[in-house]
Protein backbone atom coordinates (compact mmCIF):
# COMPACT_ATOMS: atom_id res chain seq x y z
CA UNK A 1 0.00 0.00 0.00
CA UNK A 2 1.37 3.41 -0.88
CA UNK A 3 0.75 6.86 0.43
CA UNK A 4 -2.40 8.55 -0.79
CA UNK A 5 -2.60 12.15 -1.83
CA UNK A 6 -6.09 13.47 -2.47
CA UNK A 7 -5.31 16.84 -4.05
CA UNK A 8 -3.41 15.66 -7.10
CA UNK A 9 -3.64 11.87 -7.09
CA UNK A 10 0.15 11.54 -6.93
CA UNK A 11 2.42 10.57 -4.07
CA UNK A 12 3.07 13.40 -1.60
CA UNK A 13 6.43 15.07 -1.49
CA UNK A 14 9.06 14.25 1.11
CA UNK A 15 8.23 17.42 3.06
CA UNK A 16 5.00 18.16 4.85
CA UNK A 17 3.51 21.60 5.30
CA UNK A 18 4.33 23.15 8.67
CA UNK A 19 1.72 22.89 11.41
CA UNK A 20 -0.40 26.02 11.69
CA UNK A 21 -1.29 25.25 15.33
CA UNK A 22 1.90 24.93 17.37
CA UNK A 23 2.01 24.29 21.10
CA UNK A 24 4.70 23.04 23.43
CA UNK A 25 4.44 19.56 24.88
CA UNK A 26 3.59 21.14 28.22
CA UNK A 27 0.75 23.14 26.64
CA UNK A 28 -0.66 19.99 24.96
CA UNK A 29 -0.55 18.16 28.31
CA UNK A 30 -2.44 21.03 29.99
CA UNK A 31 -5.07 21.19 27.23
CA UNK A 32 -5.73 17.47 26.72
CA UNK A 33 -6.81 14.73 29.12
CA UNK A 34 -4.23 11.97 29.65
CA UNK A 35 -6.18 9.64 27.30
CA UNK A 36 -6.49 12.34 24.61
CA UNK A 37 -2.78 13.16 24.93
CA UNK A 38 -1.80 9.49 24.60
CA UNK A 39 -3.71 9.12 21.31
CA UNK A 40 -3.34 12.57 19.75
CA UNK A 41 0.24 13.41 20.70
CA UNK A 42 1.81 9.96 21.23
CA UNK A 43 0.06 8.10 18.34
CA UNK A 44 -1.82 5.76 20.64
CA UNK A 45 -5.02 3.89 19.80
CA UNK A 46 -8.19 3.67 21.84
CA UNK A 47 -9.71 0.22 22.36
CA UNK A 48 -12.14 -0.92 19.64
CA UNK A 49 -15.91 -0.52 20.10
CA UNK A 50 -15.61 1.90 23.05
CA UNK A 51 -15.35 5.30 21.30
CA UNK A 52 -18.28 7.69 21.49
CA UNK A 53 -18.53 8.07 17.68
CA UNK A 54 -18.08 4.44 16.60
CA UNK A 55 -21.76 3.95 15.72
CA UNK A 56 -22.95 7.57 15.64
CA UNK A 57 -25.19 8.55 12.74
CA UNK A 58 -25.62 12.20 13.77
CA UNK A 59 -25.32 14.64 10.87
CA UNK A 60 -22.52 17.14 11.34
CA UNK A 61 -18.81 17.90 11.12
CA UNK A 62 -16.04 16.03 12.91
CA UNK A 63 -13.29 18.37 14.15
CA UNK A 64 -9.84 17.70 15.56
CA UNK A 65 -10.14 17.46 19.35
CA UNK A 66 -6.70 19.08 19.76
CA UNK A 67 -7.08 22.17 17.56
CA UNK A 68 -10.68 22.29 16.26
CA UNK A 69 -9.83 21.98 12.55
CA UNK A 70 -12.54 20.41 10.36
CA UNK A 71 -11.54 16.86 9.44
CA UNK A 72 -14.52 14.84 8.18
CA UNK A 73 -18.22 15.28 7.41
CA UNK A 74 -20.86 12.81 8.50
CA UNK A 75 -21.82 12.27 4.85
CA UNK A 76 -18.55 10.37 4.38
CA UNK A 77 -18.93 8.22 7.52
CA UNK A 78 -19.94 4.60 6.98
CA UNK A 79 -20.54 1.48 9.09
CA UNK A 80 -17.39 -0.63 8.74
CA UNK A 81 -18.00 -2.64 11.94
CA UNK A 82 -14.24 -2.49 12.64
CA UNK A 83 -14.55 -0.92 16.11
CA UNK A 84 -13.66 2.67 15.22
CA UNK A 85 -15.43 5.43 13.25
CA UNK A 86 -14.77 5.00 9.52
CA UNK A 87 -14.87 7.61 6.77
CA UNK A 88 -14.19 7.27 3.06
CA UNK A 89 -12.80 10.80 2.55
CA UNK A 90 -11.50 13.69 4.67
CA UNK A 91 -12.21 17.36 4.08
CA UNK A 92 -9.89 18.89 1.45
CA UNK A 93 -6.33 19.28 2.81
CA UNK A 94 -7.51 18.46 6.35
CA UNK A 95 -5.19 15.52 6.91
CA UNK A 96 -1.68 14.39 6.11
CA UNK A 97 -0.98 10.74 5.38
CA UNK A 98 2.43 9.28 6.22
CA UNK A 99 4.00 5.84 6.24
CA UNK A 100 3.89 4.15 9.66
CA UNK A 101 6.12 1.10 10.16
CA UNK A 102 5.53 0.70 13.89
CA UNK A 103 4.27 -2.66 15.14
CA UNK A 104 6.31 -4.42 12.45
CA UNK A 105 3.90 -3.66 9.61
CA UNK A 106 3.46 -0.98 6.95
CA UNK A 107 0.41 1.23 7.41
CA UNK A 108 -0.51 4.78 6.53
CA UNK A 109 -0.96 7.08 9.51
CA UNK A 110 -3.45 9.96 9.35
CA UNK A 111 -2.60 13.20 11.18
CA UNK A 112 -4.34 16.55 11.40
CA UNK A 113 -2.79 18.92 8.86
CA UNK A 114 -3.25 21.90 11.20
CA UNK A 115 -1.64 20.58 14.40
CA UNK A 116 -0.02 17.26 13.38
CA UNK A 117 -2.02 15.30 15.98
CA UNK A 118 -2.45 11.56 15.37
CA UNK A 119 -5.97 10.63 14.27
CA UNK A 120 -5.72 7.01 13.11
CA UNK A 121 -4.84 5.14 9.90
CA UNK A 122 -6.19 4.83 6.37
CA UNK A 123 -6.58 1.53 4.54
CA UNK A 124 -7.38 0.83 0.89
CA UNK A 125 -8.74 -2.08 -1.11
CA UNK A 126 -10.83 -3.67 1.63
CA UNK A 127 -13.93 -3.98 -0.56
CA UNK A 128 -16.26 -1.55 1.19
CA UNK A 129 -18.85 -0.14 -1.21
CA UNK A 130 -17.64 3.46 -0.89
CA UNK A 131 -16.75 5.93 -3.65
CA UNK A 132 -13.03 5.91 -2.79
CA UNK A 133 -12.37 2.31 -1.63
CA UNK A 134 -10.59 3.90 1.35
CA UNK A 135 -11.33 3.48 5.06
CA UNK A 136 -10.09 6.26 7.29
CA UNK A 137 -10.12 4.42 10.62
CA UNK A 138 -10.14 7.25 13.16
CA UNK A 139 -10.03 7.22 16.96
CA UNK A 140 -13.20 8.77 18.44
CA UNK A 141 -11.07 10.41 21.11
CA UNK A 142 -9.23 12.32 18.34
CA UNK A 143 -12.40 14.16 17.29
CA UNK A 144 -15.36 16.16 18.46
CA UNK A 145 -18.67 16.14 16.57
CA UNK A 146 -20.36 19.43 15.82
CA UNK A 147 -23.97 18.45 15.01
CA UNK A 148 -25.69 20.24 12.13
CA UNK A 149 -28.34 22.73 13.22
Q: Which of 64, 67, 115, 137 is catalytic?
A: 137
137 catalytic residue (yes or no): yes
Residues 6+ apart with CB under 8 A from 83: 47, 48, 49, 54
Q: Report in angstroms the alpha-carbon separations of 16 from 20, 95, 96, 99, 112.
A: 12, 11, 8, 12, 12
Active site residues: 137
Amino acid sequence: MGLFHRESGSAPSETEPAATVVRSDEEWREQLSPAEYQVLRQAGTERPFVGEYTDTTTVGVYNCRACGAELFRSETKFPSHCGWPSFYAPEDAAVIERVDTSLGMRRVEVVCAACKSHLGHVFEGEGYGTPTDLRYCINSISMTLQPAE
